[in-house]
Structure 1
Amino acid sequence: MLGDLVKGREKSVLILIEDSVEEPGRGLVSCFLLSLCQRMDEIHVVTFDPKSQSMLKVVPAEAQAKIIHHNCQNDFLKWKQSAGLGLDSDLPKEIAAKGNPNKDRKIAMVIDSLSSLLLFRPVPYTCQTLHKLSDSNVMGASVEQIVVLVHHDLHDAGSLALIEHTASTVIRTSPTQSGGHEFCCNILHKKISGKITRINEHFNISDQLEIENLTELKAVIDTTPQQPTVQVDPAANLTFNLSLTDQEKRARSQVKLPYTYDQDRIDATLNKSVVEGKIFYQPDEADDFDEEDPDDDLDV
């Protein structure tokens, strides 16, 4: 799965790479950048971290003309009042303004890293920015792919969940569980058909920044034979007996319950003669009956 995503054989518009201090993911971002240089007409690289400058050095000389660098790290908070991109800049508008006006070109973006924007801007604003960056109408060209790096150990789970909901693919680096591999990642990929794929893969990154020795991490199945469980009788240690003997079961089955109809009761009910009914009323002592005419004093 990871190899197809890097090479572009598996389509994904917004790829979110989540790394940490223990498992850095900038090398994986560089692999995506080199692959995009071979497939795209224009690549916008937005850098927020000082270390992300080293990623631009891996781009070959023949592909440097495709790279448009947007430096947001020099004065991100606008303390120096410089003219570069900063916290208050409209990122989609700035990227679209520096691009080629040809609408038939295929463009891609690499953002390193989104953590700076998440730390100083609300999460909904960041999600809206990513949505605008992937909109071809806003960017003025066909946006094929956006690769975003975020440091998940700097943010809470709720903020990451909103960003992951926006992305079509989430790649999170994790500790390797194989001695022959240097890296491991957990991939959540949402296909165009709506199918969601989850997979864990081990891999290495070569000196040419290519994915190699890709191996899927299978779930370990416990093959240890299970000991048979002993059924415990809950009525074993009681002071009274809850079970019935065969004779008691037969006696119970012969008891006629008051709410059931056997054949004798059915015949008696059907053959019972119908007589005329009468109503008898016996007043109580508390009943107050006035035998006098209440309208006797009226001149009618």
Structure 2
Amino acid sequence: MLGDLIKGREKSAISLIEDSVEEPGRGLLSCFLLSLSQRMDEVHVLTFDPKSHLMLKEVAPDTQTKIIHHNFQNDFLKWNGSATSGLESDLLKEISAKGNLNKERKVAVVIDSLSCLLLFRPVPYTCQTLHRLCNSTITGANVEQVVALLHRDLHDGNSLTLVEHTASTVIQTSPSQSEGHEFCCNTLHKKISGKITRIKEHFNISENFEIDDLTELKAVVDTTPQQPTPQMDPAANLTFNLSLTEEEKRARSQVKLPYTYDQQKIEATLSSGEGKIFYQPDEADDFDEEDPDDDLDV
């Protein structure tokens, strides 16, 4: 799954890479960037983190012309009063100003990282920005894929959930459980057909930032036969007996209930040839024998 997503064989409008301090994901982001630079006409790279520029050095010289760098990392909060773009800038306008956007060109956007937007801008703004980047009627271009890195240990669960709902693919880095693999990730992919796929894979990243030794980690099924659990009798340790003997059951079945008529009385009524209505009042019924209109002079 991961290899198909990076190579573009599996379509994903918004791919989100969630990493942590222990399991960084910038190597995966570099794999996406190199693949996009070979397949797309333009790749807009929006950098917010201080180490983002190191990722651009891995791009081959023959594809450097496709990379359009939008530098937000120097003074994105505008504390120094520099003329560079900051977080208050409209990212769509920044991309449109530097790029040659039209529907005939294939465009991709790489963001490193979304954490700055989530920390200093409202969460709905970040989700709306991701959605607008993929909308060709707004950007004026055929944006085939948006890939963004997110440091999940910097944000609360509610913020992560909102961004994950916006993305079509969520790749979470995790500790490797295989001696022959350096990296591991859990991928949730929402296909165009609506099917949702969850998969856990181990892999290595080569010096050319390509995925090697990709192996799916399948859940281990325990085939050991389970011993049947003995059923507990809830009436086993009671001080009184809840069960009935056969003789007690027969005696109970012969008891005539007070609210029913026995067979002899029913036969006697039917043999008289007259229909009767049997009504047995309840204890709560209140009958007044006196005429309520007796005091009226009619």
Taking structure 1 as the reference length, the TM-score comes to: 0.88
Identify if the C-alpha distance between structure 1 residues 101 and 178 changes in structure 2 by more than 3 Å, giving closer, same or farther.
Answer: closer
Residue of structure 1 equivalent to 2:77: 77
Unaligned stretches of 5+ residues in structure 1: 295-300
Aligned-residue offset at 1:63: 0.3
Residue of structure 1 equivalent to 2:250: 250
Residue of structure 2 equivalent to 1:125: 125
Check the 8 A contact 2:19/2:149 in 1, yes or no: yes
AA in 1 matched with 2:179 = G
**More moved, 194-203 vs 144-153:** 194-203
Aligned-residue offset at 1:136: 1.1
Query: What is the Cα-based RMSD across aligned positions, in Å?
Result: 2.4
**1:120-199 matches, cutoff 5 A:** 120-199=120-199
The whole-number CA distance in structure 1 between the counterparts of 2:175 and 2:226 is 30
Pair 1:221-2:253 in alignment:
no
Check the 8 A contact 2:41/2:106 in 1, yes or no: yes
Residue of structure 2 equivalent to 1:264: 264
Identify if the C-alpha distance between structure 1 residues 200 and 262 changes in structure 2 by more than 3 Å, giving closer, same or farther.
Answer: farther
Aligned-residue offset at 1:260: 4.2
Aligned-residue offset at 1:137: 1.8
**More moved, 246-255 vs 191-200:** 246-255
Taking structure 2 as the reference length, the TM-score comes to: 0.89
**More moved, 209-218 vs 264-273:** 264-273
**1:1-20 matches, cutoff 5 A:** 1-20=1-20
**More moved, 264-273 vs 50-59:** 264-273
**More moved, 92-101 vs 7-16:** 92-101
Aligned-residue offset at 1:96: 1.1
The whole-number CA distance in structure 2 between the counterparts of 1:25 and 1:132 is 24
Residue of structure 2 equivalent to 1:90: 90
AA in 1 matched with 2:171 = I
SS of the residue corresponding to residue 235 of structure 1 reads coil
Aligned-residue offset at 1:222: 3.1
The whole-number CA distance in structure 2 between the counterparts of 1:53 and 1:136 is 28
**1:267-282 matches, cutoff 5 A:** 267-272=267-272, 274=274
Identify if the C-alpha distance between structure 1 residues 70 and 252 changes in structure 2 by more than 3 Å, giving closer, same or farther.
Answer: same
Pair 1:234-2:234 in alignment:
yes
Q: Please give the per-residue CA displacement for 1:96-146, whole angstroms capped at 9, x wherever unaligned.
A: 111114431000010000101111100011111111111112222100000
SS of the residue corresponding to residue 229 of structure 2 reads coil
AA in 1 matched with 2:87 = L
The whole-number CA distance in structure 1 between the counterparts of 2:207 and 2:269 is 98
AA in 2 matched with 1:244 = L
Q: Please give the per-residue CA displacement for 1:183-240, whole angstroms capped at 9, x wherever unaligned.
A: 1111111111111111111111111211111111212333444333223323233333
Pair 1:42-2:42 in alignment:
yes
The whole-number CA distance in structure 2 between the counterparts of 1:110 and 1:141 is 15
Check the 8 A contact 2:101/2:139 in 1, yes or no: no
Residue of structure 2 equivalent to 1:297: none
Check the 8 A contact 2:176/2:182 in 1, yes or no: yes
Aligned-residue offset at 1:35: 0.7
Unaligned stretches of 5+ residues in structure 2: 277-287
AA in 2 matched with 1:175 = P
Identify if the C-alpha distance between structure 1 residues 273 and 86 changes in structure 2 by more than 3 Å, giving closer, same or farther.
Answer: same
SS of the residue corresponding to residue 258 of structure 1 reads coil
The whole-number CA distance in structure 2 between the counterparts of 1:163 and 1:132 is 14
Identify if the C-alpha distance between structure 1 residues 101 and 198 changes in structure 2 by more than 3 Å, giving closer, same or farther.
Answer: closer
> Number of paired residues?
287
Structure index of larger Rg: 1
Identify if the C-alpha distance between structure 1 residues 89 and 262 changes in structure 2 by more than 3 Å, giving closer, same or farther.
Answer: same
